[in-house]
Amino acid sequence: MKITILGCGGSFGSPLAWNRHGNIDLNNKRNFRTRSSVLIEDNNNNILIDTSPDLRQQLYNIQCTNIDAVLYTHEHSDHTSGLPDMRAMSLINQKIIPAFMPKEMKSKMEIFYKYIFKGEKDYLPFMKIENLENNFSINGTNIETFKHNHGSIDVQTYKFGKFAYSTDLKKFYNEDIDKLKNLDLWIVGLLREDPHPAHAGFEQVMEFINYIKPKKTVFTHMTALLDEKKLKDKCPPNVVPGYDGMTINI
């Protein structure tokens, strides 16, 4: 399984034109972050998690020409609003692409993106909403999902065997964190150093890491307040900030 971090920025991306930077080094290309999304290549299957507003550029950067399915973590616009860019993926491969999403997202997505899911006037639908089950499979790739807390809403963690992706994480419900024990790779959202009402801060994310002990942890969804090198220097060697274009084989 090959995992590519297409984007690892928070909702504004990084850096910012108005210079609200936490002393990030602008000579370090890894501090240039598009909005969060990840591509999983497994069994000749290309699975995309979230459609960030930067999707077109992200797919261009890695020369990706096919997506077999999209999995959504939650409805926030930094995770969904690149959806219209999927039209090219449908057209060039002549297929309707399934979009898996939690049921609370479904009606909003159908209204916002009616032409995509239902078609409108001359435009035929090019994606199809699929209901999300706790365990499901896409062309032989088995996926497990559960909800974690993101302030006033919930977000899906997705788990593919020994890899899991938990972005926009404030806390886990009940004993769900135990489902993440024995991971080879955990990609987890770290918005900024300090806690935010909808995102855990650095100390809390490190507590999660110290509890589940993944072999490797990669941070995503980082604001321009987090400098890649400074963050790396304060973490153990198996905990690293991600960067756009990072690939990991597990």
Query: Which residues, in sequence order, are bridge partners of residue 83?
Result: none
How far apart (Å, rounded) are the C-alpha atoms in residues 67 and 46? 5
Closest CB 160 distance from Zn ion, rounded Å: 20
Name the segment binding Zn ion (CB under 5 A); options: 26-34, 90-98, 168-176, 241-249. 168-176
> Please, which residues have CB within 8 angstroms of residue 81's CB and are 6 or more apart in sequence?
51, 52, 53
Interface with Zn ion by CB under 5 A: which range of 133-141, 164-172, 200-208, 239-247?
164-172
The answer to whether 59 and 85 are in contact (CB under 8 A) is yes
Does position 154 bind Zn ion by CB under 5 A?
no
Of the listed pieces 40-48, 77-85, 87-95, 204-212, which binds Zn ion according to CB under 5 A? 77-85
Contact 115, 122 (CB under 8 A): no
Q: Indicate whether 76 belongs to the interface with Zn ion (CB under 5 A).
A: yes
The pair of three-digit structure tokens given for residue 229, joined into one six-digit string: 């090198």
Residue 205, by phi and psi: left (phi above 0), alpha (psi -120 to 50) or beta? alpha
- Residue (56 or 76) nearer to Zn ion, CB: 76
**Dihedral sign from CA coordinates of 32, 237, 192, 85:** positive
Q: Which of 42, 54, 168, 227 binds Zn ion (CB under 5 A)?
A: 168
We find the least distance from the C-beta atom of residue 147 to Zn ion, in angstroms, to be: 13
Total residues contacting Zn ion (rule CB under 5 A)? 3
Query: Segment near Zn ion (CB under 5 A), from 56-64, 69-77, 103-111, 204-212?
Result: 69-77
Residue ranges that bind Zn ion, judged by CB under 5 A: 76, 78, 168
